[in-house]
């Protein structure tokens, strides 16, 4: 848990090098891949260490935890961005919009309605990604692959340009490259600029397939 500042900085440097390498190998501009540092379960001190090293974009999977760690840091780091990357319950939407800049896990009509209602009420303009369950795994959140196109259109009708892209977490055992390729193609079909895919174990594969956003926890902050 107690990750030192130099350690986080070194690890971030290594990840940035690996991202740049993967992008160049794919003929892509390294600047087109955004790093989301996933700080879930790690203490606020770990986030502060990453901020001190220049990392401004973070991911958390629980609203409650994010609401405790992040708002106090906003005054000192106004450029900081927080992404919610975990499944979202409709009764947490209001709190989620208060703390997060990007919601990566819109995956069902009821959540779309709750988001639209609270966005109108709060007058905010969050970035929103549609999560696709590319492996159609019963226990995993995300809209099923076969319903993704219709659901994305519904989301775009309701939230317009706030719908920025798509996100997926491929099945553990599968070859993730085919899931990543499918998601990138899906984003392209809907003219969506953000493709959020790839974690500590497979982000280079994701970049080769077109990821514009990678979500990396363990390789930066250590094991949870």
Contacting residues toward ligand PLP, per CB under 6 A: 38, 40, 61, 85-86, 169, 199-201, 215-219
**Shortest Å distance, C-beta 5 to ligand PLP:** 20
- In the complex with ligand PLP, which residue's Cβ is closer, 121 or 224? 224
Contact 218, 15 (CB under 8 A): no
- In the complex with ligand PLP, which residue's Cβ is closer, 44 or 218? 218
Contact 179, 131 (CB under 8 A): no
The residue number whose beta carbon is nearest to ligand PLP equals 217
**Shortest Å distance, C-beta 78 to ligand PLP:** 25
- In the complex with ligand PLP, which residue's Cβ is closer, 105 or 118? 105
Query: How far is 116 from 97, CA to CA, in rounded Å?
Result: 11
**Shortest Å distance, C-beta 129 to ligand PLP:** 11
Q: Which residue's structure tokens are 């379960």?
A: 41
Task: State the DSSP H helix or E strand holding residue 81, giving kind and residue range, or none if neither.
Answer: strand 81-84
Contact 49, 221 (CB under 8 A): no
Taking each helix axis from N to C terminus, what angle separates 5-25 and 44-52, rounded to the nearest 10 degrees? 60
- In the complex with ligand PLP, which residue's Cβ is closer, 116 or 219? 219
Query: How far is 220 from 37, CA to CA, in rounded Å?
Result: 7
**Shortest Å distance, C-beta 67 to ligand PLP:** 17
**Shortest Å distance, C-beta 224 to ligand PLP:** 7
């Amino acid at each position: 848990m107690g990750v030192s500042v130099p350690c986080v900085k070194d690890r971030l440097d290594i990840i940035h090098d690996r991202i740049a390498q993967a992008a160049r190998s794919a003929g892509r501009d390294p600047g087109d891949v955004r790093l989301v540092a996933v700080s879930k379960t790690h203490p606020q001190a770990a986030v502060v260490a990453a901020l001190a090293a220049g990392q401004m974009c973070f991911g958390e999977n629980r609203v409650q935890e994010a609401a405790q760690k992040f708002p106090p840091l906003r005054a000192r780091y106004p450029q900081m961005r927080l992404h919610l990357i975990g499944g979202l319950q409709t009764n947490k939407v209001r709190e989620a919009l208060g703390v997060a800049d990007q919601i990566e896990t819109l995956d069902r009509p009821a959540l779309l309605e709750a988001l639209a209602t609270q966005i109108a009420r709060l007058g905010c303009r969050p970035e929103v990604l549609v999560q696709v369950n590319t492996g159609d795994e019963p226990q995993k959140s995300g809209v099923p692959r076969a319903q993704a196109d219709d659901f994305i259109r519904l989301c775009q009708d309701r939230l317009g340009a706030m719908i920025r892209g798509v996100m997926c977490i491929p099945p553990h055992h599968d070859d993730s490259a085919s899931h990543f390729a499918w998601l990138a193609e899906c984003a392209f079909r809907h003219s969506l600029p953000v493709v959020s895919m790839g974690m500590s174990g497979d982000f280079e594969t994701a970049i080769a397939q077109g990821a514009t956003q990678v979500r990396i926890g363990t390789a930066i902050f250590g094991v949870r």
